[in-house]
């Protein structure tokens, strides 16, 4: 058997099969132990993630890491009192002590009338094959070679002075959730990525940028040369620099940045934000929060999706549903706990939001810029100036100034400002350059006007 540092994901999957069986036994024993200690309800989360990551710089292997992470979480409920323990030592003795500790902790906690498992009738009974698991025989030398090819392609242009490194990542995870309703579910997922970051020199200093490809299946990654070309192209496009006039201008969030814009809206629709009354979208259900052309769907069953799953972390069956229809908010993102706090029904979102599909228009990014005429195409935002309670939005930014639909130059050290509620209503277009590298699938988003200061 090869040493751990040279295991392929196929070999790792073989080892994890034994680990999963061990975890299943430990979960059953822990649930039984909790019941014998008097817990009326209990639930267990556990996972084991194993894989390799490498970094190449200037053609040489700089970092090689074998990563292994394990976790075992225990919740016990004595009436409305809850005890929680998390451990990383996946041995029978450690789990036994963990259950004892959780039961003891519960005796000191205050009763919470909203605590407890989700209803048994809501547990998932169908487990779809969502094609999330693709172990293969990718070796460390192959990962290193891909990173070298990626970096070499990015450094072809003499205007690019140096590389910050090319990285390759391959990991596989096994996770289980079980509870005293008799529910037990297991997920097996793989994830691969390849990235490169490079630096070019200008009269105003150094400019850096990069690119990455990511997927559940290594076969779905872009070729190394393409990743390198994209990294180089992105930084070279920034070499022509100029100023942006301060004022109110149309602003386009590139597809990469649009994910962040949508995530602010989605965060404001989560149960915790709603029951804490800490959301700029409070009491907006069945109201117009976006232009009528905007359609948003949650799809937990997207094949190879980064947010796919047949059940949430409460064991509740997930379902495909409409979040926004013709600009009108139709639903929230609730766990069983937050749903009880709000007097509503869980939406199967304990543990997070699933794949979000923002329906694009039949419009390219270039067409969008032509329609807007002049404005700012954002490629980077920075800072923490986003308040999802009030909706106030103010961040540092950089991007490309365009006129008559054509990019003129790159601009840095800008500030953009607005209010999220109004920004969402002022969206005028969503282009078809959908970025699929996350669980939020969106094209670039154009906003009619935001304050821009240089």
Q: Is residue 53 domain-shared with residue 195, that is, in the same domain?
A: yes
Tokens describing residue 305: 């999706």
Range 399-414 average pLDDT: 96
Q: Is residue 174 domain-shared with residue 302, that is, in the same domain?
A: no
Kindly report the average pLDDT of the chain as a whole number. Answer: 96
User: pLDDT by residue (tens digit) across 232-266?
Assistant: 999 999 999 999 999 999 999 999 999 999 999 99
Domain count, the chain: 2
Q: Is residue 325 domain-shared with residue 228, that is, in the same domain?
A: no
- 66: in domain: yes
Range 152-160 average pLDDT: 94
Range 282-294 average pLDDT: 98
Of the three residues 238, 257, 281, the one that is the final residue of a domain is 238
Range 296-309 average pLDDT: 98
Q: Kind and range of the H or E element at 414?
A: strand 406-419
Of the three residues 238, 258, 291, the one that is the final residue of a domain is 238
Residue-level pLDDT at 203:
74
Q: Kind and range of the H or E element at 30?
A: helix 9-36
Q: Is residue 428 domain-shared with residue 323, that is, in the same domain?
A: yes
Of the three residues 189, 219, 238, the one that is the final residue of a domain is 238
Strand order in the sheet with 328-329: 328-329, 321-325, 296-298, 356-358, 440-441
Range 37-54 average pLDDT: 97
Give the CA angle between residues 153, 157, 163 to the nearest 5°.
60
Q: Is residue 284 domain-shared with residue 426, that is, in the same domain?
A: yes
Q: Is residue 182 domain-shared with residue 106, that is, in the same domain?
A: yes
Containing domain of residue 32, as a range? 9-238
- What CA–CA distance (Å, rounded) separates 340 from 338? 5
Non-local (6+) Cβ contacts of 361 within 8 A are 293, 429, 430, 431, 432, 443
What would the DSSP string read from start to end of 61-87? EEEEEEEEEEEEEEEEEETTEEEEEEE
- 1: in domain: no
CATH number of the domain residue 26 falls in: 3.30.2290.10
- 3: in domain: no
Q: What are phi and psi of 309, to 5 degrees?
A: 175, 150
Q: Is residue 147 domain-shared with residue 290, that is, in the same domain?
A: no
Q: Contact at 8 Å (CB) between 396 and 426?
A: no
- 110: in domain: yes
Q: What are phi and psi of 305, to 5 degrees?
A: -75, 150
- 2: in domain: no
Q: Is residue 225 domain-shared with residue 344, that is, in the same domain?
A: no
Q: Is residue 287 domain-shared with residue 373, that is, in the same domain?
A: yes
Q: Is residue 183 domain-shared with residue 201, that is, in the same domain?
A: yes
* Position 3 pLDDT exceeds 80: no
User: pLDDT by residue (tens digit) across 193-235?
Assistant: 999 999 998 777 889 999 999 999 999 999 999 999 999 999 9
Residue-level pLDDT at 5:
55
* Position 45 pLDDT exceeds 70: yes
* β-pairing verdict for 247-253 and 375-382: parallel
Q: Is residue 284 domain-shared with residue 172, that is, in the same domain?
A: no
- 348: in domain: yes
Question: pTM score, two decimals?
Answer: 0.95
Q: Kind and range of the H or E element at 152?
A: helix 140-154
- 4: in domain: no
- What CA–CA distance (Å, rounded) separates 164 from 376? 28
Residue-level pLDDT at 202:
78
Q: Is residue 225 domain-shared with residue 371, that is, in the same domain?
A: no
* β-pairing verdict for 60-78 and 41-57: antiparallel
* Position 2 pLDDT exceeds 80: no
- What CA–CA distance (Å, rounded) separates 186 from 92? 20
Q: What are phi and psi of 190, to 5 degrees?
A: -120, 160
- 206: in domain: yes
Q: How confident is the model at residue 1 (pLDDT cuts 50, 70, 90)?
A: very low
């Amino acid at each position: 058997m090869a040493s751990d540092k040279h295991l392929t994901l196929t070999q790792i999957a073989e080892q994890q099969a034994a680990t999963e069986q061990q975890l299943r036994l430990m979960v059953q024993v822990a649930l039984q132990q909790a019941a014998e200690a008097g817990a009326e309800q209990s639930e267990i989360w556990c996972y084991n993630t194993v894989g390799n990551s490498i970094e190449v710089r200037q053609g040489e292997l700089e970092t090689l890491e074998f990563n292994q992470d394990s976790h075992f979480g225990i919740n016990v409920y004595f009436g409305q009192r809850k005890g929680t323990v998390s451990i990383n030592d996946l041995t029978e003795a450690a789990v036994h002590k963990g259950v004892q500790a959780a039961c003891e902790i519960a005796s000191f906690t205050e009763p919470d009338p909203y605590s407890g498992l989700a209803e048994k009738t809501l547990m998932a009974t169908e487990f779809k094959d969502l094609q999330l698991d693709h172990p293969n025989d990718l070796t460390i030398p192959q990962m290193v070679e891909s990173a070298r090819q990626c970096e070499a392609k990015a450094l072809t242009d003499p205007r690019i002075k140096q590389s910050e490194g090319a990285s390759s990542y391959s990991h596989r995870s096994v996770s289980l959730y079980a509870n005293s309703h008799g529910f037990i579910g297991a997920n097996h997922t793989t994830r691969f990525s390849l990235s490169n970051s490079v630096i070019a020199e200008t009269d105003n200093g150094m400019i850096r940028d990069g690119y990455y490809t990511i997927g559940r299946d290594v076969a779905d990654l872009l070729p190394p040369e393409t990743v390198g070309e994209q990294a180089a192209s992105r930084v070279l496009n920034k070499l022509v620099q100029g100023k942006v006039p301060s004022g109110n201008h149309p602003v386009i969030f590139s597809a990469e940045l649009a994910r962040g814009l949508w995530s602010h809206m989605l965060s404001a629709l989560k149960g915790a934000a709603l029951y804490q009354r800490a959301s700029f979208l409070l009491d907006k259900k069945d109201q117009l929060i976006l232009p009528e052309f905007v359609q948003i769907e949650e799809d937990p069953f997207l094949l190879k999706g980064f947010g796919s799953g047949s059940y949430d972390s409460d064991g509740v069956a997930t379902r495909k549903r409409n979040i926004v229809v013709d600009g009108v908010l139709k639903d929230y993102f609730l766990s069983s706990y937050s749903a009880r706090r709000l007097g509503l029904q869980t939406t199967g979102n304990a543990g997070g939001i699933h794949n979000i599909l923002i329906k694009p228009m039949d419009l390219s990014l270039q067409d969008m810029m032509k329609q807007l005429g002049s404005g700012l195409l954002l490629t980077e935002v920075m800072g923490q100036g986003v308040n999802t309670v009030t909706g106030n939005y103010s961040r540092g930014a950089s991007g490309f100034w365009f006129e008559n639909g054509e990019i003129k130059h790159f601009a840095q050290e800008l500030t953009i400002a607005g209010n999220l509620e109004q920004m969402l209503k002022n969206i005028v277009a969503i282009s078809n350059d959908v970025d699929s590298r996350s669980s939020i699938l969106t094209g670039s988003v154009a906003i009619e006007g935001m304050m821009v200061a240089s």
